[in-house]
Amino acid sequence: MNILLIEDEKNIADFIISGFESEGFTVHHDSDGFRGLNTALIKKFDAIVLDVSMPLMDGFEVLGEIRRKGLKTPIMMLTARTELIDRLKGFEKGADDYLAKPFFIEELIVRVKTLIARQSGSAHAFISQSGLTLNRFSRVAQWGEHAAPLTQREFVLLECMMLSPGQIFSRQQILKQVWNVDFDPGTNVVDVCIQRLRRKLDDARPDALQAFPLETIRGVGYRFNNVSP
């Protein structure tokens, strides 16, 4: 999937680019509103991540021009402005979502994925593997007859593993994908997150014959088993 990032702060842009590229996205970056608008009008993108405060043209101006040209590309606005009037202004001009700085990169990625899924239709709204279904819109997982809402990190972890069934993920790989940490700080957050997922779903399922598909590979990591329910 192709993302256009229009952001003038280099550190923030690098942070966003790294996060999206780790999820397999291709990111085109422009550092001012004028160039970003031109890029948006001549190239096709799955989504646009647009900062509000930028040189040459601010995000509201860029947003307005994109919508006036009839482009329906999903647009996520980023801003340090938290006042309601600014958020309403963005929505009135055609923004699809709004995220205030500072933010977690995982939340930004999940929100952009949701915007893309909504744009492309309901076929991408759900992931189903091994009897487990994940709703990307509501972040609710269903296992048998039991459904449970997931936290942001639980959702990102489960989505990552369900999209690569059978692949063994080390704890360090999961830390990179879910927490955007490039090294192993000796924490057990991955194991704790997996345990929470199992408690929310596996413990509530009355059918003990069906093993929960998140499998621990001792000394290595975890994998999502792609087996028939």
Radius of gyration of the chain, Cα coordinates, nearest whole angstrom? 19
Domain boundaries along the sequence of the chain: 2-120, 125-224
Q: What is the CATH number of domain 125-224?
A: 1.10.10.10
What length does the chain have? 229
For 110-138, b/e burial (b = at least 16 CB within 10 A) is bbbbbbbbbeeeeeeeebebbbbebbbee
CB of 5 within 8 A of CB of 27?
A: yes
Q: Characterize the bridge pairing of strands 126-129 and 97-100.
A: unpaired
pLDDT at 124: 60
Architecture of domain 2-120 in CATH? 3-Layer(aba) Sandwich (3.40)
φ/ψ bin of 53: left (φ > 0), alpha (ψ from -120 to 50), beta (otherwise): beta
pTM exceeding 0.75: no
pLDDT at 229: 44
pLDDT at 123: 46
Position 154: which residue type? E
Q: Can you give the pLDDT of all 229 residues of the chain as single tens digits?
A: 899 999 999 999 999 999 999 888 999 999 999 999 999 999 999 999 999 988 888 999 999 999 999 998 999 999 876 666 777 777 888 888 888 888 888 888 888 887 887 776 644 677 888 888 888 777 888 887 788 888 888 888 998 888 888 889 998 888 877 886 766 667 788 999 999 998 888 765 555 556 788 899 988 999 998 765 4
CB of 2 within 8 A of CB of 44?
A: yes
φ/ψ bin of 130: left (φ > 0), alpha (ψ from -120 to 50), beta (otherwise): left
Helix (H) or strand (E) holding 37: helix 33-42
Position 182: which residue type? D
DSSP per position, 140-177: EEEETTEEEE--HHHHHHHHHHHTSTT-EEEHHHHIII
Q: Supply 8's token pair.
A: 């003038």
Separation CA 227–CA 33 (nearest Å): 48
CA distances (Å), 10 to each of 7, 13, 14, 29, 199, in order?
A: 8, 5, 6, 10, 41
